[in-house]
Structure 1
Amino acid sequence: MQLTLTQLLIASLFCGISLAHTLRGQEILSREISLQVESVEVSKILNQLEKQARVKFIYSTHSIQLRQKASLNVHNRPLFSVLDELFSPMQVQYEVLGSRILLRKKMVEKQSSALRITFPDRNVRGVVTDEKGEGLPGVSILLKGSQQGTTTDGSGQYSMSVAGSESILIFSFVGYVSQEIVVGNSSTIDVSLVADTKALEELVVVGYGTQKKVNLTGAVASVGAEVLESRPVANLGQALQGNIANLNISQASGALGKGSNFNIRGNTSINGGSPLVLVNGIPMDINILNPNDIESVVVLKDAASAAIYGARAAYGVILVTTKSGKKDLKPNISFTTNFSTNTPVVKFETMDALERMRYMNEANIRINGRPYYQFDEYYEKAILAHYYDPSQPETFQHPNESPTQYAFSANTDWADVLLRNSYPQQQHTVGISGGSERFDYYTSLSYFNAKGITKNFNERYNRYNVMSNLNYDLAKWIKVGTKISINASNKVYPPNDASDNFNEDRNMFQVHQWPNWPVYLPDGNYASLGSVPNVLQMHKEGGYRTRDIFDSWLTGLVKLTPVKNMTVNMDYSFNIQDTEELDYRKRLPMYDRTGISGYYPYTNPSSVTRNNYNNRYQVFNAYADYENTLGKHYFKVMAGFNQESARYRFFQAKREKLIVESMPFMDLSYGERYTSDSESEYAIRGVFSRVNYSFDDRYFLEFNGRYDGSSKFPKSDRFAFFPSLSLGWRIDNEGFFSTLRDKISMLKLRASYGNLGNQNVTGYYPYVATYTSGLAGYLINSDNPMAVYAPGLVSPTLTWETVTQQDLGIDFGLFGNQLTGSFDLYRRDTKNMLTRSQTLPATLAVSEPQANAADMKTVGFDMTVGWNKSSGNFKYGVSLILSDYRATITRYSNPSGLISDYYVGQKVGSIWGLVTGGLFQSDEEAAALDQSQINGRKRVAGDLYFVDLDGDGKITRGTQTLSNHGDMSIIGNNTPRYSYGLRSNVSWKGFDLDVLFQGVARRDLVIAGNYFVNQYNDEWGVQGKIGTDWWSETNRDAYFPRPLITGGTDVTTPQTRYMQNAAYLRLKQLTLAYTIPTAVAQKIGSKRIQVYFSGNNMWEATKMVHIVDPEQSSAMSYPLNRAYSIGANIGF
């Protein structure tokens, strides 16, 4: 199906290109002209013809007498007839070149047709300067209609060969208007390029339209393809990190195919919330896109910018625009390839057998008065023997155990057995773009492949992307287009030993197995430890898990221009996303001296489980805008309609006891069947408008409004209106500012206020009381019957969470915009957050329903500063982004004042815990302080002690309420503070260096999970190497207290000693690229060749313990990667 679609797409594309090029010249010359002039200069006649025929004439002033006067009186005549009448008397001939018409003198043939004069190649040289007369290095000079070209040197000079006087040279440079010049008889052609004001006044994509960046009144930030393409990464989130202030991007897991999480301007709601992400105007998961297909990313941060999207945009909007073709451009083929080697940032290092034996011995003394392994001298002797002499056996026969059982004395490094030190990744993209006068196209195909960290399982992820954007001008007033995006991925990863079938991070737990447990028994079978599976056996023989995703988008667009300055846009998009998960578990045997002794419980019986997710989504947009300028007054009005709907279906089936365990099919199973399914849907409908007004490019006003309705709320509270207003003042355009313009090139003040709604509440029908069903908790005639349970209480008045946001900002440019920047202060009030309502009597026997009963305030700032400078062929730039935010609960019902819940005045992210004083150095010291209410045991030398903050002579948590929290206090806050990014780029003679540092200046973290400080005797309870630094008589300044083998450890109690300083500085990206000279590339048939080396997450500085990545929160997460890659970008 996909192959057929791709073939059809490519075939249609090239047919369109061929047809467009064939008919282009004929179509131009057939355009009808009506013109009546009397004795008018030829130059003015050409201007009239250019406007009517929508063409551009190119010529040499040496060949065409522009001041010569002529007369025309034509009505609805084709252009070729008009040109014949005008130029025949002047001995001028014409030729269509693309969307241009070349005019030149007719050659007078003095010889017979068999004898023609040929002209040898000759050299043309010159200098290209800017408006100030300074030489421009790196200007592209191309001989029109060929691949021949050159570039200017450091002083703007050039030299190249041309075939004859009719040759046309095209001079182009970024930020300047391109020029086409006929060579004629000149051997020296000097060119002065004029700055392109349209290029300098960058257009930025905003909601349902574009605006000049310098005229924006909202808080908007953007990055272009040049930034994204410099980072060869797996997904767009990784490419954006550290590039936009207060766009907070995190990656909780480095597992294959895992995307990034996005947040704009900090805490959103106690119920969570993320920005609306739109790709070409439609909601899409950008983590599955090919980053090479992205043209630009725009972030709408404040309510004034995002209000146009209403119900979905409470916490900002990310607008992604994909690449498109360009009209009148020959087919341009690009190929990008990249090969990477990944290594884990955090490597798992656990205690070896001797370290763990000493640890367990010390821990057991605390409970039983003697070392753990000295309960049994046989274990201690065998472990020590193998540790000091690896040739000694890893197993032995214990005289007090069953003669069929093995006892273990190995020294296995399970991280080394199970995990790779490096794993490869590759990505390849081929694209073609171009266009004719009325048609443009962009199509790309890409492939991404990555291997996982698992050593003895072929863990892999494949992603395939097809992107196609086609646009065609049916007529001068109507344009149509299609956008097609097809994204497919396949992931294969190892099985696990628990019921959370599809959790990739579960595999990271398994490196913490006992080191004295060998991999193999002497007979070659896998070693078993009770009912715990041998993980290597599970990886090699236990089956596998897969996840296949097919995601396709089809968009049709129509753009009408019924009258001057007015456009009408309509688009319809349809999305199909199907996901299938498979959990295939083989039955794994356990072994002893007799052979198979049984089967692991989690794998017995064998089973196959399939989950299917079928999502369908459609959206229709229609909007029109009108703009005009009357004197110094500019206004633009836009209004539109939006409707979208989504349907989600889930189906699960499971069957046990496979007949043939190598064939995971339910029809080839004979055990119990289990099925479940669900379906839900929602819809949104809204109308929106925007009004822009400016006076004399000095004063700006923008109003946005949206009236939205969501099916997630009762009919009586379904619709709401969300307005916003923003103002701007371009101070630099004021008359009194003229004396400062040589220093301050741009200065603008902004202010905005707006309201937004959040419809992303829990569930799709939170206002409907629904029954639930399931198996009853009793038997009837030995059968477990189905039961239906009464619904809980719901609030019939549930409605939107509302967000009110205020923003003050300043944008500036200094020294000719070499130094640019922006600074914003904001406040966001999130009101009517969903939480439980007032407490109900216990006799009611139901929980409180949800209600709009909580408020939160967030304040913060974001800043961007950049410096760019060039000198000759040396260019460099430096940019800094910095942001911060804090959130406070301003309304919440917590009558008891529990500190484990939200409460009014709470700083979101606050960490309550105990203040650690240190380690007791003697039993007498420990006996002097009563800590028995903390984990309920007596303390001795080597235990932790806490500070008695309330002075009552004992350590307690009180009632853990605001009025009585004992010795607990707020010890930190896990909110990332002062997030920053520092980027630098340097270019010189084809070399480009791009470096990005990214980090967080302040963050407190209590590491999730026991595996940071595990002191429990279970099969996964082996500490990392860090755990060897425990207190003893000879190590009184230890990091950890004396080991404890049972529960009740103080280490896992939130406290200041083990709360981590999670601030960090990371070298996020470094890329060194070299662009091969154009002349060399052209010799091998290429327009451009660039090769590069790149590294990601190459280095970091942090005070965190080394077993946890500072960007993660758990010691057991799938690690993030360091990536080292080489690649090339080639253009044809």
Structure 2
Amino acid sequence: MKFHLRNPIPWYQIMRITFIQIFLLAVLSSMAYSNTINAQNVLDKKVTLSLSNMTLQDVLNYLQKNDNVKFIYSNNAINVNQQVTVNAVNQPLKTVLDQVLKTNGISYEVLKDRIVLGKLATAETTVNYADVKAATPITGKVVDQNGQAVIGASVLEKGTTNGITTDINGNFKLNVAGPSSVLVIAYIGFNSQEVAVGDQTALTITLVENVKSLNEVVVVGYGTQKRGSVTGAISSVKAADLQDQQLTRIDDALKGRTAGVNVVQSSGAPGSAPTVRVRGVTSINNSNPLYVIDGVVVDGGLDLVNPNDVESIDVLKDAAASIYGSRGSNGVIFITTKKGKQGPPKVSYNGYVGWQGPVSKPELVNATQYATLRNQSLTNDGKAALFANPSALGTGTNWQDEIFSNSAMIQNHNLALNGANDKANYYTSFGYLDQKGIVMPEISNYKKFTFTVNTSYKAKKWLTVGENFTYSYVRSRNNLNTNSVFGGPLSSALNLDPITPVTINDINAQPNASTYINNSANIIRNAQGLPYGISNYVSQEITNPLAYTQTQNGNYGYATNLLGNAFVEVEPIAGLKLRSQISAKQAYYGNESFTPIYYLNSSTSNLSNTSFYRENDRNLSWNIDNTATYSRAFGKHNFTALIGTSAQKQSGSGIAGTFIGLPVNTFAEASANYTLANVNKIANGFDNQPYTLASTFARLTYDYDGKWLFTGIIRRDGSSKFGSNNVYGVFPSGQVGYVMSKESWFPQNSFVNYFKLRGSYGIVGNEMSLNPFQYTATIGSGRNYIFGNPETVYVGYSPNAPSNPDLQWEETRSANIGFDATFLNNLTVTFDIYRKLTKGMLQTVQLPAYAGFAGQPSANIGDMENKGVELNLGYNNKIGQFSYNIGGNISYNHNEVTYLGSQINFFTVGSVQSSNYEIGRTAVGQPVGAFYGFQELGTFKSQAEVNAYTSSTGALIQPNAKAGDFKWQDVNNDGKIDASDRKYLGNPLPTFTYGVNLSANYKSFDLRLFGQGVWGNKIYQAYRRLDIASANYPVAALNAWSTENPTSNYPRLSDADPNNNFKNPSNFYLQSGAYFRIKTLQVGYALPSTFLKKADIQRARIFLSSNNLATITGYKGYDPEISGGIDMGIYPQARTFMVGLDITL
């Protein structure tokens, strides 16, 4: 019979959804064409409103919200704070505008569907050009950094009231006094700019966006706020920051760009996910932040998002995260995808092709040097030398050169269509990424396809419907066993001797010829039939990496993700919005692998049966969120109230099977279905325990005159992970702000333009460390008993561990004080000081054996503290046709475990071969995973120094040591070296993280430079196999102590190593992990508009770019960017050179 395990992916469902999305897109596109509103229709629109003694700003906001009208104006041109009164019942909009605007000296003009406001010309303000003989006519155009027209920008002759606003094409015409005149151009969200007229008569003025504008909108959870109203600590990355970055994962966009967010790419393997920490490690368990994509909570899975589809990333770092209650203690990261831009449909393409290679490699000895050092190690132990003539071996094999590629290809292509008008908004995109790995590309590669559709439609002025849908498919190979000393290409390249050849031409000429002869049928051969070399000196899992690769060919993993949400938003009365959203994420993932018959060495082989493994899993999560938001203004009092409910459920299942003894020896053959006896098939499956969460929440935001700010949040979560005595948790927070610069007493000068103080305190939780039903007592088997005569084994069952009905979330209390400021109009500063105290970290309780339980229960016991400082700086300016933007951020974080309970003093972290000692500990008073070991004080330069190292009683502290051995510090001064002489040696977590960026534009050319780094951490270099004395050596070993080199602090070589010079975990293996890396260097050129117009192209830009161009570091391994600080052969990040094209039609 045939045994089928694959659960077919429901492609018909995917295609049906895709067809519906495309059909909806086409319908909405046609609506966009058919709903163009001319100016007369806008002014004829009937409106009803009655407002007394309100600011003009309030009236304009009311009309925009309730009558679907858009106003464009500059605060430099009109006073929106003046008090107005208006009463109109079913009157044309023109009548209302005449009453409100013209009577207050404000003009208006309808441009398409927008109303541009400006200063009304009067007898006093109108220049009589007949009397100005030297009047100079100036024409010009105002555009943004992408070359798009800026409509309604204010153009004012400096020192006068002579001015105008730009039209629908961004054009203006203005008569000025003469060549000495200076024009001041201003528009909301952009930096104002001054341009000297001189002898110019036609100007093109590019406004630089103020990315830290107070009107910038940030996501705060179940809604948005303007940055000027924000009271919490929120970092943001906008599309403008990403548009020129070549990212394969959206996580990377946060690296070095946001203070307080540390992103560590702990593997350079294609598609690998980084480790993200917001304000430090918050728990000894799970410290991952919560991810929310377009309002949908997702567990990781950011791989499904195409970075080119991202509009913004906002990070809640403080108590504001309490809006997500029991899941907010590690921070909340919001990812908002792009929507359509106002106007007709636009097609855009962004793509690049590049080549990758390693940045650096550890320096290892060659064959001659290896043989010399092996002889030295053996003779130091009193044994005979192994190699009679080392120099005859030459340089031998450089295994790193054999496994690394300097031309691994990467290509990324993205095609998007978007558009919008007053009724419809649509955005759709297709993405394709193909990346080869720089280590053995045959078994290290990654492909991803993405498809996104975002649409919304305003059916009525009070009703909006919409949806967001994303599909992704990933197929990857990553069978390298990286960051492990137990085999795989990287570990083998670092440890395999350089004497062994890549392939063998003459078996009989090899010193281990019998190995090849006895295993001739099973040794791995290359395409020409030559056997791969097998070491005669190094064994165990350290094998020829090219032969190993042949045993992994074809093996792959896959993941299919569908993420979607649909929403309905109703505004029954002015200011009240009711929103209901349902969302779901469906994931299918699995892998297939084949194990052939092979012989790699005496320790690593499979000589019995082939096997084929196939696994298919799926996971489903859904959310239903309902919110009601009410906004109202009473004079200078403004408030927004939010209440809502949320429900979430997750479930998963999987099935796997192993086929044993297939009559094939390749993956391609094995992946076909075979008829096998049942005894040759092993199947298993699982169903995850479902997880549910039910929540209610509320938020009140209030401000008085935009000066005094307050935000209060409360959330109540009920989770299936909590014990019966703690089913529900309540998470409150409060935030306040004070805009001092709005006070009348605040100095009104050009130096300090804006200054806001902020403070927050709240309680957030971390339930992500818990597993479903962890609080209950489960029953396990295997507790067997023997009874009777004859004796019979009976299967026994008993509780695994006692229940704990008090089990609950880990709780973090977060406090923050900071300020936002703007200086000299162009310099922005954000500063924060914070403290996070985590209480009740989950850990096991040690029970005595007589309690009768096989396992240990979980309880909330441990505490941890993080405290730190963050600083963000940004400066932008324009000098003539040259504009630039400089930004930087730096963060300081101190992590410390403060309590682990009364039963335990520490947890061990990491280990090395041939040693009973751990590498690190998580202990009270120390950071998580602090390095722990012996302190070497240099080498004994002579036997006299060994004899002089004595205790207070005169006894030798290291009686077995010899000259050239390490001198170990006697930490406890007991006169001997043992386990109690270990100490804390360093911190694997960086003390400081920082990033700098520079962007510059001159005419059609642009430059982008971005770098980031860390400081204050250590790395434990552990990739040499200490249990294999003959493993290859680093070049530093050439300086090992010897009688000819008696001053060296590199210990003498010895296979026996009686002093444990190499086997002891010690500061000898610690190196500084500090680095600065140029992440991106890019030069672009925008093709001339005169050329593009002929081809009906709006924008086209070509660029040359490099990622990871250079790294400044003292670390001698592959890559200093290592999560956890222990390097056992990490897959390094690639240096990439790319050429690409951006084009918009």
TM-score, normalised to structure 1's length?
0.80
Q: Distance in 1 between matches of 2:218 and 2:698?
A: 18
State the 1:806 CA deviation: 0.9
1:308 counterpart = 2:320: no
Q: Distance in 1 between matches of 2:561 and 2:928?
A: 37
1:919 counterpart = 2:939: yes
Residue 716 of structure 1 aligns to a residue in which SS? coil
State the 1:202 CA deviation: 1.6
1:1082 to 1066, 1073, 1093: 1093
1:749 counterpart = 2:763: no
**Aligned AA for 1:925?**
E
**Aligned AA for 1:577?**
A
Q: Counterparts of 1:409-448 in structure 2 under 5 Å?
A: 411-448=396-433
Give the structure 1 partner of residue 492 of structure 2.
510
Deviates more, 1:765-774 or 1:457-466: 765-774
Give the structure 1 partner of residue 962 of structure 2.
940
The answer as to whether partners of 1:456 and 1:540 remain within 8 angstroms in 2 is no
Q: Counterparts of 1:562-711 in structure 2 under 5 Å?
A: 562-588=572-598, 601-602=605-606, 604-662=608-666, 663-665=669-671, 667-669=674-676, 672-680=680-688, 681-711=690-720
2:1029 to 1011, 1017, 1037: 1017
Deviates more, 1:434-443 or 1:792-801: 792-801
Over 3 Å counting, the alpha-carbon distance change for 1:849 and 1:338 in structure 2 is: same
Residue 1127 of structure 2 aligns to a residue in which SS? coil
Residue 1068 of structure 2 aligns to a residue in which SS? coil
Q: Distance in 1 between matches of 2:404 and 2:934?
A: 37
The answer as to whether partners of 2:999 and 2:1009 remain within 8 angstroms in 1 is yes
Q: Distance in 2 between matches of 1:1044 and 1:140?
A: 82
Q: Distance in 1 between matches of 2:957 and 2:15?
A: 63
Q: Counterparts of 1:60-139 in structure 2 under 5 Å?
A: 99=113, 125-126=139-140, 130=154, 132-133=156-157
Residue 1054 of structure 1 aligns to a residue in which SS? coil
Instruction: Give the share of equivalent positions with the same residue, in percent.
Output: 27
The answer as to whether partners of 2:724 and 2:806 remain within 8 angstroms in 1 is no
Q: Distance in 1 between matches of 2:743 and 2:138?
A: 46
Over 3 Å counting, the alpha-carbon distance change for 1:910 and 1:937 in structure 2 is: same
Deviates more, 1:770-779 or 1:187-196: 187-196
Residue 741 of structure 2 aligns to a residue in which SS? helix
Q: Distance in 1 between matches of 2:486 and 2:429?
A: 31
Alignment RMSD: 4.4
State the 1:314 CA deviation: 1.1
Deviates more, 1:527-536 or 1:470-479: 527-536
State the 1:124 CA deviation: 10
2:305 to 270, 273, 289: 289
Give the structure 1 partner of residue 1116 of structure 2.
1105
2:990 to 954, 972, 976: 976
2:460 to 459, 462, 475: 475
1:849 to 843, 853, 857: 857
Q: Distance in 1 between matches of 2:422 and 2:178?
A: 33
**Aligned AA for 1:18?**
S
**Aligned AA for 2:328?**
A
Residue 381 of structure 2 aligns to a residue in which SS? helix
Over 3 Å counting, the alpha-carbon distance change for 1:259 and 1:766 in structure 2 is: same
1:387 counterpart = 2:402: no
**Aligned AA for 1:301?**
K
The CA deviation string for residues 541-591 of structure 1, in whole angstroms up to 9 with x for no partner, is: 654320111000121011111100111111101111010111112222579
Q: Distance in 2 between matches of 1:790 and 1:28?
A: 78
The answer as to whether partners of 1:776 and 1:787 remain within 8 angstroms in 2 is yes
Over 3 Å counting, the alpha-carbon distance change for 1:1058 and 1:659 in structure 2 is: closer
Residue 1028 of structure 2 aligns to a residue in which SS? coil
Residue 1090 of structure 2 aligns to a residue in which SS? helix
Q: Counterparts of 1:711-750 in structure 2 under 5 Å?
A: 711-737=720-746, 739-750=747-758
The answer as to whether partners of 1:542 and 1:588 remain within 8 angstroms in 2 is no
1:1028 to 1007, 1016, 1038: 1038
Q: Distance in 2 between matches of 1:888 and 1:1045?
A: 39
Give the structure 2 partner of residue 822 of structure 1.
830
The CA deviation string for residues 1045-1090 of structure 1, in whole angstroms up to 9 with x for no partner, is: 2466323423333321111122222222222222222222210111
Residue 736 of structure 1 aligns to a residue in which SS? coil
1:298 to 314, 319, 323: 314
The CA deviation string for residues 502-522 of structure 1, in whole angstroms up to 9 with x for no partner, is: x99943212132322223333
The answer as to whether partners of 1:820 and 1:865 remain within 8 angstroms in 2 is yes
Give the structure 2 partner of residue 1050 of structure 1.
1061
**Aligned AA for 2:418?**
S
The answer as to whether partners of 1:457 and 1:494 remain within 8 angstroms in 2 is no
Q: Distance in 1 between matches of 2:428 and 2:436?
A: 27
1:905 counterpart = 2:909: no
Give the structure 2 partner of residue 16 of structure 1.
28
The answer as to whether partners of 2:1040 and 2:1049 remain within 8 angstroms in 1 is yes
The answer as to whether partners of 1:838 and 1:893 remain within 8 angstroms in 2 is no
Over 3 Å counting, the alpha-carbon distance change for 1:464 and 1:504 in structure 2 is: farther
Over 3 Å counting, the alpha-carbon distance change for 1:50 and 1:516 in structure 2 is: closer
Q: Distance in 2 between matches of 1:198 and 1:877?
A: 12
Deviates more, 1:517-526 or 1:898-907: 898-907
State the 1:17 CA deviation: 1.4
Residue 230 of structure 1 aligns to a residue in which SS? coil
Q: Distance in 2 between matches of 1:628 and 1:740?
A: 30
Q: Distance in 1 between matches of 2:15 and 2:438?
A: 31
Q: Counterparts of 1:487-506 in structure 2 under 5 Å?
A: 487-494=472-479, 506=488
Gaps of 5+ in 1: 38-45, 59-73, 81-94, 103-122, 159-170, 179-186, 375-379, 389-410, 592-597, 959-966
1:317 to 322, 325, 332: 332
2:1130 to 1113, 1117, 1120: 1117
State the 1:251 CA deviation: 1.1
The answer as to whether partners of 2:770 and 2:809 remain within 8 angstroms in 1 is no
Gaps of 5+ in 2: 1-10, 50-59, 73-87, 95-108, 117-136, 143-152, 180-184, 193-200, 507-529, 909-920
Residue 361 of structure 1 aligns to a residue in which SS? helix
1:797 counterpart = 2:806: yes
Deviates more, 1:227-236 or 1:949-958: 949-958
Q: Distance in 1 between matches of 2:785 and 2:1113?
A: 52
State the 1:482 CA deviation: 1.0
State the 1:895 CA deviation: 4.8
2:261 to 244, 247, 251: 247
State the 1:19 CA deviation: 4.4
Q: Distance in 1 between matches of 2:424 and 2:942?
A: 85
Give the structure 1 partner of residue 522 of structure 2.
none
State the 1:6 CA deviation: 4.1
The CA deviation string for residues 369-407 of structure 1, in whole angstroms up to 9 with x for no partner, is: 322x15xxxxx46x754538xxxxxxxxxxxxxxxxxxx
Q: Distance in 2 between matches of 1:970 and 1:97?
A: 69
* Rg larger for: 1
The CA deviation string for residues 878-937 of structure 1, in whole angstroms up to 9 with x for no partner, is: 222111111223322245756856554334443333322111222343355479x99999
Number of positions where the alignment pairs a residue of Structure 1 with one of Structure 2: 993
Q: Distance in 1 between matches of 2:65 and 2:872?
A: 43
Over 3 Å counting, the alpha-carbon distance change for 1:140 and 1:544 in structure 2 is: farther
Give the structure 2 partner of residue 890 of structure 1.
898
**Aligned AA for 2:1034?**
G
Q: Distance in 2 between matches of 1:27 and 1:773?
A: 78
Q: Distance in 2 between matches of 1:251 and 1:152?
A: 53
1:350 counterpart = 2:361: no
